[in-house]
């Protein structure tokens, strides 16, 4: 393949329209229409509605957890957890995560302390945490990335040994298990995202899981922005109610979970087989889990081996209508407002910086077929094979 | 009517099923089905979707405002405004308002300072504000209550004279005008609620309005919880995106506004005519506006004149399936966490305490008919006429 075959240099794109990154599993019109007709008939649209309550029950069964508390999105779920747990001072979390993990702390009046990550797994570097703990640290927020886990059992030991609390941003981890136990059951609480790009979709939404009765009661009191007639003492209230429209989609999505997980895994295996043959592309495996949702395909690009820098590869793919992206980028220590402390993090977050400079996320989910994966991998193979020519032509 | 005719004492309730308080105007199945079929067809469910964008445009036209920025609910809208305006320290607001007005400040890291209200209008007491301003106060949050206004023009002068910023919680005030100018155009920004109990309903939702270009840009950057590739400098991001499902309902509701406002006004006039004949029931008028949405019917109960205490009157109405409620209750200075400063507010919020002890909210909106109003007013008249007998029988 000569460079003239690349859309970046004027050829016809490999895909007619942009192939998106996310999961985007939606129900059929028949099921959707039935669900929304029911909402219309009941004229019950929000706040502990019948579909919302059914969803919480089904989630509790599915995950084997005492309390699944649905919320309007995962960010506000994380804010509520920080508040309900009574955290103060500082909270340790990885620098390599979605911006909302840190922002939830800032809204809750807490200071994030960023920890580096493990280069192979992309998960928080367990051996670096103890060094960050001082008297102002009240908790660790584990983040379960890419359908893998950050090793919640080891983190539990670490948190207990240091006398701090532990909870999880499990936005990526719905349906994953650790030694057969569903993620959602670890630490004091875990928060899932039900955004449309996740395997369990409420189009937008989330859920807090906990096995702590008191914490659950506080969370349920914080959620509806009611007054102070709450049965338990809480500090703040939020408006974080999940609507019936969200719950309707999530209920159908939960029904479809086994099928969608299987589809993801099949696609992931196609990617795996082919990516493993390409020098300089390192697919991250969902580690630390006994079962994964396979909702992400993330590689790091070794520019020297692959022959093309990460950002140019993204340009090549975008021109072909493959919506690849650098993700996460940048590390949270380089985002507003945390960048003010950048000098403190100098040389402390080298793996984070390295991954932020080399990571690429590829499409998987409802709109991706085996043929799409083959076509994407072909582009990658040919980009590698024509790397010298591409680089030289691109620079001109 | 003897006490035996009251449901509280065992008679058949005046209404077969509970008559709710709120507006609850929803579209017909035909329109609803068409809107939700469109969302399904587009598979575009959230985040700057086509319906969302159309709604923002239509709101801007309707209100004559430069920027209408839709959000998932009014609470997070208020949090975003506080952040986008760069407020610090303390913010003055009335103690007689919904809990979310104050909680938005607490989440934004600010300290609310509660001001008393005017007994006749229920709005913030303009003559008390200057006395509360010190070097730590960065803003005033006006609250436009009950379809009336808190006099935004006077507040603007007051804020300017004291060198503090000004914005409004206008959750109650969609569609109202002050000297012909729509609420939404005053201060630095105003926040509307589109909760189902409001005249403009997204079932849940809200909108921030501003004529300040820079503030609008910051708000649009804060809203989607994206990264730091924002065109303007912001401190925090939030997930506050309005979904297409919310926008679909709001668009239909905006179309219906003239009809729903008219229906409200007609019902309000029925109430007015009859309540004015009952000693000890004082209906609050929407003051300070040239046009009102009439979305609330709120009275204060003078126990001495009326013959029955407020809380017993609510019990009487509830037994008849009239969902009357004390609202607002209690004053915000008596809610968690602000109650910690209660000693500071001792004797400073007497009007607030008085209204919290005497206010009652009655049903108005889609599910209320002229006949319902007549029946409710009949119960009130007869409760007054039988007050001695009721009180004595209730105490036994």
Residue B236 lies in a domain: yes
Residue A227 and residue B79: Cβ atoms within 8 Å? no
Closest CA to B233 of B84, B66, B71: B84
Pick from A19, A75, A204, A242 the residue to mutate for testing the B interface (most B CBs within 10 Å).
A204
- Based on the fold, state whether residues A171 and A273 are members of the same structural domain: no
Residue B62 domain boundaries:
29-255
Q: SS3 of B108, please?
A: coil
Cβ atoms within 10 Å of A232's Cβ, excluding its own: 14
Q: Characterize A10-45 residue by residue with b for buried, 16 or more Cβ atoms within 10 angstroms of its Cβ, and e for exposed.
A: eeebbbeeebbbbbbbbbeeebbeebbeebbeeebb
Residue B14 lies in a domain: no
Q: Give B226's contacts in chain A (Cβ within 8 Å).
A: 99
Q: Give B245's contacts in chain A (Cβ within 8 Å).
A: 203, 243, 245-246
The total of structural domains in chain A comes to: 2
Q: Is A196 touching B (CB cutoff 8 A)?
A: yes
pLDDT of residue A2: 73
Out of A262-266, B65-69, B236-240, B370-374, pick the least confident.
B236-240
By C-alpha distance, the chain A residue nearest B82 is A107
Q: Is B241 touching A (CB cutoff 8 A)?
A: yes
Residue A2 lies in a domain: no
Residue B20 lies in a domain: no
pLDDT, tens digit, 9 for 90 and up, residues B75-103: 999 999 999 999 999 999 999 999 999 99
pLDDT, tens digit, 9 for 90 and up, residues B291-332: 999 999 999 999 999 999 999 999 999 999 999 999 999 999
- Look at residue B228 and tell me whether its pLDDT is greater than 70: no
Cβ atoms within 10 Å of A337's Cβ, excluding its own: 14
- Based on the fold, state whether residues A369 and A292 are members of the same structural domain: yes
Residue A20 lies in a domain: no
Q: What percentage of chain B exceeds 90 in pLDDT?
A: 91
Instruction: Give me the residue label for tokens 């028949």.
Output: A30
Closest CA to A146 of A276, A327, A372: A327
User: Rounded distance, CA B102 to CA A227, Å?
Assistant: 11
Where on the phi/psi map is residue B89: left (φ > 0), alpha (ψ -120 to 50), or beta? Answer: left
Over range B348-366, report the average pLDDT. Answer: 97
In whole numbers, what is the pLDDT of chain B averaged over residues?
95
Question: For chain B, how far is it from start to end, CA to CA, in angstroms?
Answer: 20
Residue B19 lies in a domain: no
Q: What are phi and psi of A236, to 5 degrees?
A: -135, 160
Residue after which a domain boundary falls, among B255, B278, B299: B255
Instruction: Give, for A211, the enclosing helix (H) or strand (E).
Output: none
Q: SS3 of A193, please?
A: strand
Q: Is A35 touching B (CB cutoff 8 A)?
A: no
- Based on the fold, state whether residues A107 and A140 are members of the same structural domain: yes
Pick from A226, A245, A249, A340 the residue to mutate for testing the B interface (most B CBs within 10 Å).
A245
pLDDT, tens digit, 9 for 90 and up, residues B149-196: 999 999 999 999 999 999 999 999 999 999 999 999 999 999 999 999
- Based on the fold, state whether residues A218 and A137 are members of the same structural domain: yes
Q: Strand pairing partners for A207?
A: A70, A192
Which residues does A81 contact at the CB level (< 8 Å), separation at least 6? A167, A188, A189, A191, A208, A219
- Based on the fold, state whether residues A276 and A151 are members of the same structural domain: no
Residue after which a domain boundary falls, among B255, B287, B318: B255
Judge whether B225 and A100 are in contact, CB under 8 Å. yes
pTM assigned to the model: 0.95
Residue A3 lies in a domain: no
Out of A376-380, B63-67, B129-133, B389-393, pick the least confident.
B389-393
The CATH number of the domain where B262 resides is what?
Answer: 3.90.1150.10
- Based on the fold, state whether residues A213 and A353 are members of the same structural domain: no
Q: Give A365's contacts in chain B (Cβ within 8 Å).
A: none
Q: With a CB-CB cutoff of 8 Å, which residues 97-136 of chain A face chain B?
A: 99-100, 103, 106-109
pLDDT of residue A4: 83
- Based on the fold, state whether residues A245 and A292 are members of the same structural domain: no
- Based on the fold, state whether residues B275 and B224 are members of the same structural domain: no
Cβ atoms within 10 Å of B134's Cβ, excluding its own: 10
Residue A13 lies in a domain: no
Judge whether B202 and B74 are in contact, CB under 8 Å. no
Assigned token pair, A376: 């994407």
pLDDT, tens digit, 9 for 90 and up, residues A184-226: 999 999 999 999 999 999 999 999 999 999 999 999 999 987 6
- Based on the fold, state whether residues B209 and B300 are members of the same structural domain: no
pLDDT top residue among A237 and A87? A87
pLDDT, tens digit, 9 for 90 and up, residues B22-64: 999 999 999 999 999 999 999 999 888 999 999 999 999 999 9
Cβ atoms within 10 Å of A105's Cβ, excluding its own: 22
- Look at residue A395 and tell me whether its pLDDT is greater than 90: no
- Based on the fold, state whether residues A142 and A284 are members of the same structural domain: no
Assigned token pair, A122: 């992309």
Residue after which a domain boundary falls, among A240, A255, A270: A255
- Based on the fold, state whether residues B174 and B285 are members of the same structural domain: no
- Based on the fold, state whether residues B277 and B200 are members of the same structural domain: no
Assigned token pair, B281: 């029931």
The CATH number of the domain where B235 resides is what?
Answer: 3.40.640.10
Assigned token pair, B309: 């205490």
pLDDT of residue A228: 46
């Amino acid at each position: 393949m000569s460079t003239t075959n690349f859309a970046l240099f004027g050829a016809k794109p490999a895909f007619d329209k942009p192939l998106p990154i996310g999961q985007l599993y939606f129900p059929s019109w028949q099921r959707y229409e039935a669900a929304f007709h029911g909402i219309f008939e009941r004229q019950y649209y929000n706040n502990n509605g019948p579909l919302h309550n059914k969803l919480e029950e089904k989630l509790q069964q599915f995950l084997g957890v005492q309390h699944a508390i649905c919320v309007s999105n995962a960010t506000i779920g994380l804010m509520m957890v920080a508040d309900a747990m009574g955290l103060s001072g500082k909270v340790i979390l990885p620098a390599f995560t979605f911006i909302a993990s840190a922002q939830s702390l800032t809204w809750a009046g807490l200071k994030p302390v960023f920890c580096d990550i493990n280069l192979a797994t992309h998960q928080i570097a367990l051996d670096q945490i103890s060094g960050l703990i001082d008297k102002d640290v009240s908790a660790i927020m584990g983040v379960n990335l890419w359908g893998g886990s950050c090793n919640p059992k080891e983190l539990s030991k670490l948190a207990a040994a240091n006398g701090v609390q532990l909870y999880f941003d499990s936005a990526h981890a719905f349906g994953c298990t650790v030694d057969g136990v569903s993620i959602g059951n670890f630490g004091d609480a875990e928060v899932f995202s039900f955004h449309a790009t996740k395997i369990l979709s409420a189009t937008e939404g989330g859920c807090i899981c906990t096995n702590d009765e008191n914490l659950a009661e506080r969370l349920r009191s914080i959620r509806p922005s009611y007054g102070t007639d709450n049965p338990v003492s809480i500090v703040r209230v939020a408006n974080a109610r999940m609507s019936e429209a969200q719950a309707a989609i999530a209920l159908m999505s939960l029904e479809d979970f086994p099928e969608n997980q299987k589809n993801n895994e099949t696609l992931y295996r196609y990617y795996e087989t082919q990516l493993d043959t390409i020098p300089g592309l390192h697919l991250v495996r969902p580690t630390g889990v006994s079962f994964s949702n396979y909702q992400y395909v993330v590689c790091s690009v070794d520019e020297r081996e692959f022959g093309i820098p990460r950002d140019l590869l993204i340009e090549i793919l975008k021109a072909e209508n493959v919506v690849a992206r650098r993700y996460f980028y940048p590390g949270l220590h380089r985002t507003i407002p945390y960048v003010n402390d950048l000098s403190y993090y100098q040389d402390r977050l080298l793996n984070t910086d390295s991954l932020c400079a080399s990571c690429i996320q590829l499409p998987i989910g409802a709109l991706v077929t085996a043929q799409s994966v083959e076509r994407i991998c072909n582009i990658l193979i040919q980009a590698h094979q024509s790397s010298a020519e591409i680089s030289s032509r691109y620079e001109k």
